[in-house]
């Protein structure tokens, strides 16, 4: 994503973080996650965002992620083969400890609710779960209530609309998840809420959130990723620092380490090593800005507050690693400035991680969809060597991704600025 600076006040980056008890994050060290689903998973957007969040927020976790969505899939399978073929080829070899399942969009047949069609869905869904459990009873499932068909920014195609059908499918998924002790993530409700709010503000722009009414664009996928991460008890906090400049004292340092705090000639400096990175996205994009405005994404997942009290004067320039981040009033700094979403070196580092996430998934996709599947049955020895080499490349990119997410020490400076002219 290309970064363009945007005024912090537009997106509400000046906000406090409410203290609250935080349950443990669901993923564990060494977990192997397989994302399974239809074309919406095949877009490799919400899945890349989830993976990027985990790698940047928990750089030591060393979880692995495999993206196994196939366009057009139903619970019975589809263009990639029957469900038995799909599971045997696209799930079991990766030995998942965590499997997410997102199906239903195609299963409902894009028509009014039909009991017979629904019965095929529920039976097929249970068959998937039972097949995976038979292969490994220890797999932890995250069952996903299907994302919406956009009946908000366009008129429904029939009375009640197709999304009402998907909601009924999602209700069954939720009940079934509770029955088998699985985690459930609702990817329908939060996207619909964003669509409603965005449509009230800018109807034309709102239509781009789910451009073809089925497949969300990147901004819609951010909200879907948020829903999964919330279901996994993802923390909002990146890092939090509070400094009393008058007393030259670090009042608070959460998920970070602050050293060498000094004040000289009104300039406050310190070194800071955060244990996590902010979530990378481009709030300068008008559609992203609209989605952020209409959601709780920043508050729920992307909090990196810096508070500095005891400052004299009216305004201060904040520099990190000699880069100007912005100029803030003394009152804003005392209230707290959320650095997440600003053009900081930490944001740029997170974007590098996301780029590597996309690259390693591109390698996996090419290996799987362009070589392994279409050339199945070929006995040429070079085929297996090629597949093995691509596996190695994928692994090397993952190592680069994890390395890129490791903490770095940053130099902070707060420099007093002349009083604003009135």
Confidence at residue 7, expressed as pLDDT on a 0 to 100 scale? 37
Phi-psi region of 326 (alpha: psi -120 to 50; beta: other; left: phi over 0): left
Average pLDDT over residues 161-172: 98
User: For residues 392-405, b (16+ Cβ closer than 10 Å) or e, as one string?
Assistant: ebbeebbebbbebb
> Which stretches of 330-408 are assigned E, i.e. beta strand?
337-338
Q: How far is CA 98 from the centre of its chain?
A: 17
Digit-coded pLDDT (tens) for 70-86:
999 999 999 999 999 99
| pLDDT above 70 (res 19) | no
Determine the 3-state secondary structure of 230 from DSSP.
helix
- Local confidence band at 421 (pLDDT 50, 70, 90 cut-offs): low
Digit-coded pLDDT (tens) for 201-244:
999 999 999 999 999 999 999 999 999 999 999 999 999 999 99
Structure tokens at 94: 């990766």
Digit-coded pLDDT (tens) for 381-403:
999 999 999 999 999 999 999 99
Digit-coded pLDDT (tens) for 246-271:
999 999 999 999 999 999 999 999 99
| 192 or 6, which is more confident | 192
Tally the residues of the chain.
422
Beta bridge partner(s), residue 26:
none
Q: Which residues contact 283 (CB under 8 A, 6 or more apart)?
A: 6, 10, 11, 289, 292, 341
Rounded percentage of the chain residues whose pLDDT exceeds 90: 92
**CATH assignment, 23-231:** 3.40.50.1110
Beta bridge partner(s), residue 143:
101, 184
Annotated domain spans of the chain: 1-22+236-422, 23-231
Going from the C-alpha of 31 to that of each of 5, 63, 87, 164, 277, the distances in angstroms are 36, 5, 19, 35, 20
Helical residues (DSSP H) of 188-311, grouped into ranges: 189-201, 203-206, 218-231, 286-293, 297-301
Determine the 3-state secondary structure of 114 from DSSP.
coil
Look up the pTM and report it: 0.93
Tell me the C-alpha distance between 186 and 176, whole Å. Answer: 13
């Amino acid at each position: 994503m290309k970064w363009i600076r945007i005024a912090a006040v537009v997106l509400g980056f000046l906000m406090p973080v409410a203290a609250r008890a935080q349950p443990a994050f669901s993923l564990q060290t060494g977990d192997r996650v397989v994302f399974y689903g239809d074309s919406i998973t095949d877009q490799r957007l919400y899945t890349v965002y989830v993976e990027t969040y985990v790698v940047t927020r928990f750089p030591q976790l060393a979880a692995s992620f495999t993206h196994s969505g196939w366009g057009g899939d139903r619970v019975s399978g589809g263009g990639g083969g029957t469900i038995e073929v799909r599971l045997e080829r696209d799930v079991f070899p990766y030995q998942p400890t965590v499997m997410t399942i997102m199906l239903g969009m195609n299963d409902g047949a894009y028509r009014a609710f039909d009991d017979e069609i629904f019965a095929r869905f529920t039976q097929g869904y249970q068959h998937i779960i039972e097949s995976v459990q038979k292969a490994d009873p220890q797999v932890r499932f995250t069952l996903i209530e299907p994302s919406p068909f956009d009946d908000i920014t366009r008129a429904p195609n029939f009375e009640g609309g197709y999304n009402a059908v998907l909601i009924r499918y999602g209700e069954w998924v939720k009940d079934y998840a509770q029955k088998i002790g699985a985690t459930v993530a609702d990817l329908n409700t939060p996207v619909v809420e964003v669509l409603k709010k965005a449509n009230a503000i800018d109807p034309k722009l709102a239509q781009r959130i789910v451009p073809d009414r089925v497949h969300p664009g990147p901004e819609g996928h951010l909200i879907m990723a948020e829903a999964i991460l919330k279901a996994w008890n993802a923390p909002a906090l990146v890092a939090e620092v509070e400094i009393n400049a008058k007393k030259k004292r670090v009042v608070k340092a959460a998920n970070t380490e602050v050293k060498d705090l000094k004040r000289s000639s009104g300039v406050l400096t310190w070194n800071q090593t955060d244990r996590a990175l902010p979530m990378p996205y481009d709030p300068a994009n008008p559609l992203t800005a609209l989605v952020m405005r209409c959601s709780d994404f920043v508050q729920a997942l992307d909090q990196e507050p810096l508070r500095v009290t005891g400052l004299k004067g009216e305004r201060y320039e904040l520099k990190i690693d000699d880069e100007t981040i912005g100029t803030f009033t003394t009152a804003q700094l005392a209230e707290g400035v959320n650095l997440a979403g600003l053009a900081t070196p930490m944001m740029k580092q997170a974007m590098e991680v996301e780029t590597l996430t996309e690259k390693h998934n591109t390698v996996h996709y090419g290996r799987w969809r362009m070589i392994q599947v279409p050339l199945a049955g070929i006995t040429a020895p070079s085929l297996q060597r090629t597949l093995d080499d691509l596996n190695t490349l994928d692994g090397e990119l993952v190592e680069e991704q994890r390395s890129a997410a490791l903490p770095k020490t940053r130099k902070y400076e707060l420099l007093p600025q002349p009083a604003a002219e009135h």
